[in-house]
């Protein structure tokens, strides 16, 4: 009997199916990637392997299954790697631009001739350019200044909040939480904030490749992961207090600061109905920055693959039918 009692746990290990291991590449210091981490922890026994990078790493390294990035970087890499596929939207973030009223700024048009911090060639650089175009300012009507991001005050030397507070720039546009820290770096009521979701919002997506999705076994693993990501993102959207602590630890941002910027993030997921429209327009910017000819709408549209989402939603419905699901899978344009 003693021998049998020792064998039973071992037999359990042999008969219990193991969770598939997926390798995921993303910038591990951004808030937007954290639903992927939560999905791995809560539904996959923390089995996913995370590599710091993004879609550039995904298309270069065949051992990586999934990659996360903003749409600008997807376009940059798709130009030379047409196997890249967008399969899901993790977050939409309407970027903000903060300016110093003391620099004589009370409207967007006042930014003419000013020094604006951003990172050219990224989603932030595109955002600043598009926002200022709404008041007739073209690239060259203002000076862009490079800098670094910051996740917690006090922000270090050459970070955007530091440059703004010292008067070395007059405004800056970047992702969170650096933007919020810029607002807080200025004296009370001295910051003025500009935001226009219709002009730009980051569309931070999950990607795979045509080759990975053509592999039946790997595709099944990706579909299961996406099904669980849908459930995880419902928590991010509806019960954020449940994940604040883990997100804070993952990206080294304090919980109070996370709470202040959370409202800027939309975690509802799916595939945005205007995604191809956005890609078509942004392709012109990326092509110009990268000094190449822009691709047309039909070409960039091939990067979007909604079939994985359709399968994930079907699996989620089946799971709910058996009483196992607790997510709502509100995929836009995927059902």
Nearest partner of 236 among 267, 207, 213, 201, judged by Cα: 267
Helix axes 123-133 and 71-78, enclosed angle (nearest 10)? 110
Q: What's 20-92+203-321's CATH class?
A: alpha beta
In angstroms, the CA 267 to CA 204 distance is 10
Instruction: Give the CA dihedral 73, 142, 263, 26, nearest 10 degrees.
Output: 20
- Specify the pTM: 0.89
In angstroms, the CA 25 to CA 319 distance is 28
Q: Which CATH superfamily is domain 96-194 in?
A: Periplasmic binding protein-like II (3.40.190.10)
Task: Determine contact, residues 99/111, Cβ cutoff 8 Å.
Answer: yes
Pairing status of strand 23-26 against strand 66-70:
parallel
Nearest partner of 35 among 208, 230, 233, judged by Cα: 233
H or E element, residue 13: helix 2-15
Question: CATH 3.40.190.10 region(s) of the chain?
Answer: 20-92+203-321, 96-194
pLDDT (tens place) for every residue of the chain, 335 residues total: 444 334 434 433 333 345 579 999 999 999 999 999 999 999 998 999 999 999 999 999 999 999 999 999 999 999 999 999 999 999 999 999 999 999 999 999 999 999 999 999 999 999 999 999 999 999 999 999 999 999 999 999 999 999 999 999 999 999 999 999 999 999 999 999 999 999 999 999 999 999 999 999 999 999 999 999 999 999 999 999 999 999 999 999 999 999 999 999 999 999 999 999 999 999 999 999 999 999 999 999 999 999 999 999 999 999 988 765 443 333 344 33
Residue 15 pLDDT: 36
Nearest partner of 88 among 263, 231, 265, 272, judged by Cα: 272
Sheet holding 66-70, edge to edge: 49-52, 23-26, 66-70, 202-209, 84-93
In angstroms, the CA 312 to CA 223 distance is 5
Q: Which residue has the tokens 């919020």?
A: 180
Residue 322 pLDDT: 74
H or E element, residue 26: strand 23-26
Residue 324 pLDDT: 57
Show the beta-strand stretches assigned E in 120-249: 143-145, 171-174, 191-194, 202-209
User: What backbone phi and psi angles, to 5 degrees, belong to 58?
Assistant: -60, -50
Q: How many Cβ atoms are within 10 Å of 69's Cβ, its own excluded? A: 32
In angstroms, the CA 72 to CA 137 distance is 21
In angstroms, the CA 129 to CA 113 distance is 14
């Amino acid at each position: 009997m003693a021998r049998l009692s020792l064998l039973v746990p071992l037999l359990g290990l042999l008969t219990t199916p193991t969770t598939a291991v997926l390798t995921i590449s993303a910038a591990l210091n951004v808030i937007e990637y954290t639903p992927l981490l939560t999905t791995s922890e809560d539904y996959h026994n923390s089995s996913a392997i995370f590599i710091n990078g993004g879609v550039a790493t995904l298309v270069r390294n065949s051992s990586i299954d999934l990659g996360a990035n903003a749409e600008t970087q997807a376009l940059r890499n798709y130009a030379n790697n047409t196997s890249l596929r967008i399969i899901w939207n993790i977050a939409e973030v309407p970027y903000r631009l903060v300016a110093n009223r003391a620099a004589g700024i009370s409207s967007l048009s006042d930014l003419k001739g000013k020094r604006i911090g951003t990172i050219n060639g990224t989603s932030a650089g595109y955002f600043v350019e598009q926002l200022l175009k709404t008041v007739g300012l073209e690239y060259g009507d203002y000076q862009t200044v490079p800098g670094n991001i910051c996740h917690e005050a006090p922000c270090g030397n050459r970070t955007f909040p530091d440059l703004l507070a010292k008067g070395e720039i007059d405004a800056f546009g970047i992702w969170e939480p650096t933007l919020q820290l810029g607002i807080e770096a200025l004296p009370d009521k001295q910051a003025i904030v500009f935001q226009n979701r219709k002009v730009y919002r980051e569309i931070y997506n999950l990607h795979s490749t045509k080759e990975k999705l053509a592999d039946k076994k790997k595709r099944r693993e990706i579909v299961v992961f996406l099904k669980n990501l849908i459930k995880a993102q419902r928590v991010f959207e509806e019960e954020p207090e449940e994940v604040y602590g883990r997100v804070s630890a993952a990206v080294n941002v304090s919980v109070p600061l996370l709470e202040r910027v959370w409202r800027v993030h939309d975690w509802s997921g799916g595939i945005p109905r205007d995604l191809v429209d956005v890609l078509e327009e942004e392709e012109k910017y990326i092509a110009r920055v990268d000094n190449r000819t822009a691709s047309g709408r039909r070409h960039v549209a091939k990067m979007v693959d909604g079939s994985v989402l359709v399968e994930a939603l079907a699996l989620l419905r089946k799971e709910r039918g058996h009483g196992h699901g607790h997510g709502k899978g509100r995929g836009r344009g995927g059902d």
